[in-house]
Amino acid sequence: MNNAWVKYGSYFVLIVLIQGLVVNNIEMSIYVNPMIYPVMIIMLPFEFNILLTMLVAFVLGISVDAFSNTFGLNASAAMVIGYLRPTVLNIIKPRDGYDPVLLPSIHDMGKLWFLAYATVLIFIHHLWFFIIEVLRFDQIGQILLKTLFSLTFSLFLIMLFQYIFYKPSKK
């Protein structure tokens, strides 16, 4: 148990710093605003309590907000996927359920499953983020473009992050 707390705590600090100091500085275009920090929520264990997930999302979002001067925007988007994650996991559940030893990662669940799972959650996250950020219905096209382009880059970064920092779980 202790071990897990240390592990997730260090992932948390690492992810916030990568997002705040590196990824936030990728400014290719107004349409590309990649985010790596949702990986923290995505990679929580399968049976993680929904209230704890929202708490993690809240603290994570506020920390990222502090780095990017967005005052609660990231916290809001992170909590949305924290709240919806159990539902999404339930919908794409394999026939014989999830093995509690495994993690929702590329290594444990396979590329295709992970891509579907991450795409759904990151899409919801980005869509919510940009809708709240822009909040104008006449710019709905812009919001969708921002969501799609940022989604592509975020997914790439998240998969890269997994290949670098995660190992397959031991069965």
Partner 1 sequence: MRNLIQFLKKFRDFLIFFILQVFVLTLFFNSKDYHRSKMTNTSSSIIGWFVEKKYNIDKHFSLSDANEKLLDANAKLKAQQPESFYLLQGDIYYVNDTLKKEQFQYIPATVINSSSNKRNNYFTLNKGSAQGVEVGMGVISDDGVIGIIADVSHHYSIVMTVLTEKSSTNVKLLKNNEYWFLTWDGLDSDFAQIDDVKRDIPIEIGDDVVTRGGGTQFPEGIPVGTIDEIISKDGEQTMGLNIKLNVNYNAVYHVYVIKNMMKDEQLNLESPYLEDE
In the complex, which residues of this chain contact partner 1 (CB under 8 A)? 17, 20-21, 24-25, 27-30, 32-33, 50-51, 54, 58, 61-62, 65-73, 75-76, 79-80, 83, 132-134, 139, 142
Q: How far is the CB of 141 from partner 1 (least distance, A)?
A: 11
Nearer to partner 1, 73 or 151 (CB): 73
Nearer to partner 1, 61 or 114 (CB): 61
Q: How far is the CB of 44 from partner 1 (least distance, A)?
A: 16
Nearer to partner 1, 39 or 77 (CB): 77
Of 142, 99, 144, 123, nearest in space to 42 by CA:
123
Q: Are 43 and 166 in contact (CB under 8 A)?
A: yes
Q: Which two tokens stand for residue 121?
A: 């959650």
Q: How far is the CB of 14 from partner 1 (least distance, A)?
A: 13
Q: If DSSP states are collapsed to H, E and C, what string results for 87-152?
A: HHHHHCCCCCCCCCCCCCCHHHHCHHHHHHHHHHHHHHHHHHHHHHHHCCHHHHHHHHHHHHHHHH
Question: Tokens 């919908």 appear where?
Answer: 91
Nearer to partner 1, 20 or 102 (CB): 20
Q: What is the distance, to the nearest Å, from the Cα of residue 159 to the centroid of all Cα atoms in its chain?
A: 11
Nearer to partner 1, 33 or 162 (CB): 33
Q: How far is the CB of 25 from partner 1 (least distance, A)?
A: 8
Q: How far is the CB of 136 from partner 1 (least distance, A)?
A: 8
Alpha-carbon span 43 to 47, nearest angstrom: 11
